[in-house]
Every structure is written in C-alpha cells, then in structure tokens.
Amino acid sequence: MKILGIETSCDETAAAVVSNGKIVLSNTVLSSLDFHKEFGGVIPEIAQRFHMKFIDKVALKALKAAKIKTDELDAIAVTYGPGLVGALLVGVSFAKSLSYSLNKPLVGINHLQAHIYSVLMSHKGIKLPCVGLVVSGGHTNLVLVKDFLNYKTLGQTQDDAAGEAFDKVAKILGLGYPGGPIINKLSRKKRKEKIYFPRAYLSKDSLDFSFSGLKTAVLYYRKKIRNKKLSKQQQIDIAGAFQDAVVDVLVDKAVLAAKKYKVKNIVVGGGVSRNSSLREKLAEKAALEGCKAYFPLDVYCQDNAAMIAGLAYHKVIRKEVSDLDLQAETSLAIDKK
C-alpha cells in the first residue's frame, strides 16, 4: 500500500511516499527556516506563504523521486494538527483536493503521534507499550504508547516547550536561531560545574514539565554579568549549564514514567531528540533501570512527511480514514485520534 504524506504544520513543507508504513520511497522536505532566522522565531504568515508557494512542487518532487504516478497511490495522508492554523490549512486543503480529484481516501494524521512513529519507523521491533517523549519547538509531551494509534498522556509542559526554552535562552545569550543546535554544539566545551541552574521537577512523582523558570534563571544570571557582550567562555558555560538542567529533567521523568508503567522501551521524537547530551544521558540512565532508549534516524528528527505517510498506513488498515470535512486543529492533543 503506497501512501502520499503531506506535512505543513510549522516551517517545513514536506511530502513523502511510504509503502506499507515503513518502506520510504521518497522523503522531500523544503524548509522556510532561513526566512524566519532574522526574527528569532517562526513567523506564521511567512510559513503559510511559503507552503502555498511550494506545496505542489514538493509533492510532485516526492512522487517523482518515488517513481510512482498518482493513480498508483492508495491514500493521501496529511497532518491536521497541532500546528499553526494558516500553515496547517495549506496542507489540509491541498490533501483534500488531491483526495477528491484522484478519488483516493483522505487520512488525517496527528503530528505528535507521527513524531513518535518516526522512532518506531527508524528501528525494527520496538516492543509496545513503551514510553514516548515528544520534545520540539512547540511541544513537550510524555505519553504511554499503547499501540501506534493509542496514547495515554502522562505529562506535558505547563509553560514553555523544551525546544522553545533552547531558542529563548540562545536569544538571551546572543547566539542566534534556532537555539537548540547552537547550544548543543557549544555545550561540548563547557567547563565542569561552573554554573548550576535549578531543575524544575514540580511535585514529587509529577510527570509534567516546566521550563520558563529555568529560562528566567538564565536571564537573571546574564543580567548580573555587567559587560554588554559575553565572552565566548561565558556563553559556553551558561549554555552548558542550561542544557544540563533541561536534559536532567527530561531524562529523569522519562525513566520515572518507564518504571511507573513497567515498560522497557523509551522512544524520543521531535527536534530536541537530536540533542547529543539527551541521547547520551537517557541511554545511560535507561540502561541502569534495565530499559532502552530509542531516537529517530537523523532525517526524521525534523518535521517530515515520511512519518505522516508511515503512520497513515495503520489508520488505513483499521479503516480509520477521514471525511472531506477534515478540519485543521491547532491544539490537537497527542492522545486524540
């Protein structure tokens, strides 16, 4: 079964063709990131206009790369939430018109579930149920993944998302956007235990997150340093201490969830899953508890449509297809089909 997936929830315009939920025949991603950089964050209007300009070209490129024609497709899958409303609408409208004109089923996909699926697609035989952690620019969700399409929310952020905290702290330190990769790279040169920022664990055993206090702690620390421009070493030490605080909380809560729900596998998806310290520390701590941590292949860490088309296969075989009145849902929860 060959499915064309469409993804336009944020700043990546993406299309992919995936066979039987796992064989990726093509995976085309065009990002508008460069146009957002000067503003220090994603500008919804720019993202939407970019999607409108390129969605048809990206979809055609994905079909061409997969060497298949539209009449060979079995379904059209699209992210219908969560995300930026204008951005989502471009993909949803495009997918609806394709579905209608080609007379192929339409499959609406939850972007956050697809991030989890991107990990399951990257590795063979991860046993379910498992704990899932989605960490991106807009989301921090801890879930119990009962099966590909059945999720139970265990915790989520009460304020900033993990990636958002990386981006905001990078701005405070004058490092540029997006902050995650820059902070990750700088932190490798951090001097040991120079600075310590508080970890927000919330109440005992809580699986929720909070990162805005940490961001404020970094801001106050920065303000206490009188010189206008930070030295390179100061940037490195602050960035490193901040990253440690974020990673420790993510790791501890993911492992706590695995213990609490007696599962052996932890899967981590979304942009922040690229973070090398998160990967190392989670692998280490999970192993101490007899668990194993899995991350997506590098190409599936960022937003992409392969994870959309891949997950759609499981919806089609369960006959969970959508109507043409599918709506974009900006705040779609991770546990909602």
Rule CB under 5 A: say whether 12 interacts with Zn ion.
Answer: no
CB of 83 to Zn ion, least distance (A): 8
Give the residue with the Cβ less far from ligand KG4, 44 or 261: 44
Name which of residues 134 to 153 contact Zn ion (CB under 5 A): 136
Backbone angles phi, psi at 165, to 5 degrees: -65, -45
CB of 183 to ligand KG4, least distance (A): 6
Give the residue with the Cβ less far from ligand KG4, 129 or 271: 271
Rule CB under 5 A: say whether 8 interacts with Zn ion.
Answer: no
Binding interface with ligand KG4 (CB under 6 A) = 10, 136-138, 163-164, 166-167, 178-181, 184, 270-272, 274-275, 302-303
Give the residue with the Cβ less far from ligand KG4, 75 or 112: 112
**Whole-angstrom Cα distance, residue 308 to residue 5?**
5
CB of 216 to ligand KG4, least distance (A): 18
**Whole-angstrom Cα distance, residue 32 to residue 250?**
29
**Whole-angstrom Cα distance, residue 315 to residue 110?**
11
Q: Quick one: what does residue 274 bind among Zn ion, ligand KG4, none, with the CB cut-off 5 to 8 Å set by partner type?
A: ligand KG4
Under 8 Å between Cβ of 132 and 116: yes
CB of 115 to ligand KG4, least distance (A): 7
For Zn ion, the binding residue among 11, 164, 167, 303 (CB under 5 A) is 303
Give the residue with the Cβ less far from Zn ion, 197 or 294: 294
**Could you give the 3-state DSSP secondary structure of residue 105?**
coil
Q: Quick one: what does residue 166 bind among ligand KG4, Zn ion, none, with the CB cut-off 5 to 8 Å set by partner type?
A: ligand KG4
Distances (CA, A) of 249 to 110, 246, 281: 26, 6, 11
CB of 253 to Zn ion, least distance (A): 20
**Whole-angstrom Cα distance, residue 46 to residue 133?**
29
Q: Segment contacting Zn ion (CB under 5 A): 124-132, 183-191, 219-227, 297-305?
A: 297-305
**Could you give the 3-state DSSP secondary structure of residue 247?**
helix
- Look up tokens 């088309």; give the residue: 309
Give the residue with the Cβ less far from ligand KG4, 98 or 250: 250
CB of 245 to ligand KG4, least distance (A): 13
**Whole-angstrom Cα distance, residue 113 to residue 175?**
31
Please compute Rg for the chain using Cα positions: 20
Give the residue with the Cβ less far from ligand KG4, 51 or 274: 274
- Look up tokens 């990257």; give the residue: 122
Rule CB under 5 A: say whether 7 interacts with Zn ion.
Answer: no
Under 8 Å between Cβ of 292 and 264: yes
Under 8 Å between Cβ of 83 and 11: no
Rule CB under 5 A: say whether 329 interacts with Zn ion.
Answer: no
Nearest CA among 273, 278, 295, 332 for reference residue 92: 332
Q: Segment contacting Zn ion (CB under 5 A): 54-62, 92-100, 199-207, 296-304?
A: 296-304
Nearest CA among 44, 251, 245, 272 for reference residue 179: 272
Point out which residues bind Zn ion (CB under 5 A): 136, 303
